[in-house]
């Protein structure tokens, strides 16, 4: 975890836990309370920026909450923002990556001309759980010719294994806070 647990305890305290959402047994980590706190949001972005390992050509934010942190981080680092969206949300020609979910499948898309060949892309999202969506985003970006070797998250749920999967794919993983046992 980037920045150390003690350093980021202030941010962790701003993240609300909602038990049994969206189904019994799930401890939902709700960042809306962090977003409502101006100092907490600013501190989150500053600390994420401090963990970025440049040079970086652009940030890739994963729909939807990854857009919030991705846009703020892109501004902080003076780079562009690539939107990685669910299927059918982008106009024009897109590239698509299908991926498996626990019960079914989903797809991510980005504009086919969003990044030049060889661009160094930093992947950003609010939460890392099983890693399925993040891995699909990495495949999508790499398929477009990008170099993707680092990712940043506000929250990591390490017991769900997403960080390990990303690392196995050659992507470093850093987060501001971790919640064990989820």
Which of these, 152, 162, 163, 160, lies nearest to 26 by C-alpha position? Answer: 160
Cα-based torsion angle of the residue sequence 157, 143, 123, 49 in order, rounded to the nearest 10 degrees: 150
Cβ–Cβ < 8 Å for 104, 132:
no
- Position of tokens 């299908």? 98
Cα-based torsion angle of the residue sequence 48, 51, 53, 55 in order, rounded to the nearest 10 degrees: 40
> Active site includes 178?
no
Q: How many helices (H) and strands (E) does the chain have?
A: 6, 9
Cβ–Cβ < 8 Å for 108, 84:
yes
Given the residues 16, 63, 87, 102, the one annotated as active site: 102
Which of these, 123, 140, 38, lies nearest to 79 by C-alpha position? Answer: 123
Given the residues 29, 65, 85, 97, the one annotated as active site: 65
d(CA 78, CA 58): 9
> Active site includes 102?
yes
Catalytic amino acids?
65, 102
């Amino acid at each position: 975890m980037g920045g150390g647990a003690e350093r980021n305890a202030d941010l962790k305290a701003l993240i609300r836990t909602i038990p049994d959402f969206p189904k019994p047994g799930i401890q939902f980590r709700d960042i809306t309370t962090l977003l409502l706190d101006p100092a907490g949001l600013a501190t989150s972005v500053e600390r994420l920026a401090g963990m970025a390992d440049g040079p970086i050509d652009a940030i890739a934010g994963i729909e939807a909450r990854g857009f919030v942190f991705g846009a703020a981080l892109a501004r902080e680092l003076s780079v562009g923002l690539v939107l990685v969206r669910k299927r059918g949300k982008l106009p024009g020609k897109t590239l698509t990556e299908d991926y498996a979910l626990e019960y079914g499948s989903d797809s991510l898309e980005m504009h086919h001309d969003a990044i030049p060949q060889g661009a160094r892309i930093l992947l950003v999202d609010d939460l890392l759980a099983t890693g399925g969506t993040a891995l699909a985003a990495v495949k999508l970006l790499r398929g477009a010719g990008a170099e993707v070797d680092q990712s940043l998250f506000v929250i990591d749920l390490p017991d769900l294994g997403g960080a390990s999967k990303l690392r196995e794919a050659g992507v470093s993983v850093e987060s501001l806070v971790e919640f064990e046992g989820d």
